[in-house]
Amino acid sequence: MATRYNPKETEPKWRAAWERANVFRAKSAKEAGDMPKAYVLEMFPYPSGRLHMGHVRNYAMGDVVARYRIANGYNVLHPMGWDAFGLPAENAAIERQAQPRKWTLENIQAMKDQFAPLGLSFDWSKEVTTCEPDYYEQQQRIFLKMLENDLVYRRSAKVNWDPVENTVLANEQVVDGRGWRSGAVVEQRELEQWFFRITRYGDDLLAALDTLDRWPDKVRTMQGNWIGKSQGAKIWWEIAHAPDFLPRDKDGQGRNHATDPIEVFTTRPDTLFGAAFLALAPDHPLTKQIAKSRPGCCEIHGRVRRAWHVRSRHREGREGRRRFRHPREAPVRRQLGAASLGGELRTLDLRLGRDFRLARRRPARHRVCRKIRPAL
């Protein structure tokens, strides 16, 4: 009898035995009876190459959880699938001058062959391939139902655009201003796109986070930040004087950004009396109008817009001659400092694109204010 473990003989033998006995197949409701249920799901891999040790690490951890549940008498659903309907697979096929579908399906088979010797507890009868019609038709059906119930809508918004991948990136996929896969400098573009009305459920989601007492605090904090609810107040700042070079014509919605009050959202309205200046985002309509009329502002406006996605402590701006009346002082209100063009705010969607700062009371912010260039 052999005294040493021989994986080349033992592991294929028991993998075949598990497959014959359907050990990892989730039982039907009739078969399971009163068994407790467990659902174990890792992220599906992109079939744009081959498995590597990062995949092994990820799916080994899920395998441990699934096997632990099986050993404790649970009816476990542990599926595997392929995140195959997207630009990473297409771009990989283009790079190799291959037909995308053929390339993707070949990769899926190769990755399945790589998974086999690992002996992971996947229920392959529940395999999902997201580029197949039997999968994405279900997604389309769900989308149409959400559209019927006003849970999706279209609007223009700024996106992270990777000029090499020719696709939109999430903020987490932009590392030091570059695409996480291509390494290309990410551009800011405004595209019309679909949005889900997840804000309707923001309060429910935040309340539910408090019930996840077994989740790490840092994970719950990250989820709460992602939901992104802020409690505060909207404040309107009247423009005391606008320079003559700004147009006075109203747009199709009856607005004129040179004369209309500036709307600001703040979570600290109690600090309103200490406000020293307003900072306008580079994509604020008033900032754009000023940039068109002043070469110096146009140059810095473009530079700030290009660097908006880089997470940096550096702040750059230019003082403008827009003066604002304090909203709490009437009828003769004191005038605040000039607007800072392209200052601390990176995008209009953040805090409505406007902010005020307590520059004179906070030394760090005072330094930011002093760095602003002389008036136009």
In this predicted model, what pLDDT tens digit does every residue of 63-101 receive, in sequence order? Answer: 999 999 999 999 999 999 999 887 767 777 777 888 888
pTM score of the predicted model: 0.64
- What pLDDT is stored for residue 275 in this prediction? 79
Whole-number Å distance between alpha carbons of 162 and 319: 32
Contact (Cβ atoms closer than 8 angstroms) between residue 89 and residue 79: no
141-171 pLDDT per residue, tens: 999 999 999 999 999 888 999 998 888 888 8
Closest CA to 193 of 234, 247, 132, 152: 152
Identify whether the C-beta of residue 7 lies closer than 8 Å to the C-beta of residue 67.
no
Whole-number pLDDT of residue 336: 42
**d(Cα 359, Cα 371) in Å, to the nearest integer?**
12
| Amino acid at position 276, single letter | A
- Cα separation values, 105 from 49, 60, 158, Å: 11, 24, 34
CA geometry: angle 215, 219, 225, nearest 5 deg: 130
φ/ψ of 39, rounded to 5, equals: -125, 115
Q: What percent of the chain has pLDDT over 70?
A: 77
Mean pLDDT value across residues 179-189? 89
Residue 308: its pLDDT value, please?
A: 52
Least confident of 221-230, 263-272, 345-354: 345-354
Residue 352 burial class via C-beta count within 10 angstroms: exposed 0-12, middle 13-18, buried 19 and up: middle
Ordered structural domains, the chain, with CATH: 7-132 (3.40.50.620), 136-227 (2.170.220.10), 233-371 (3.90.740.10)
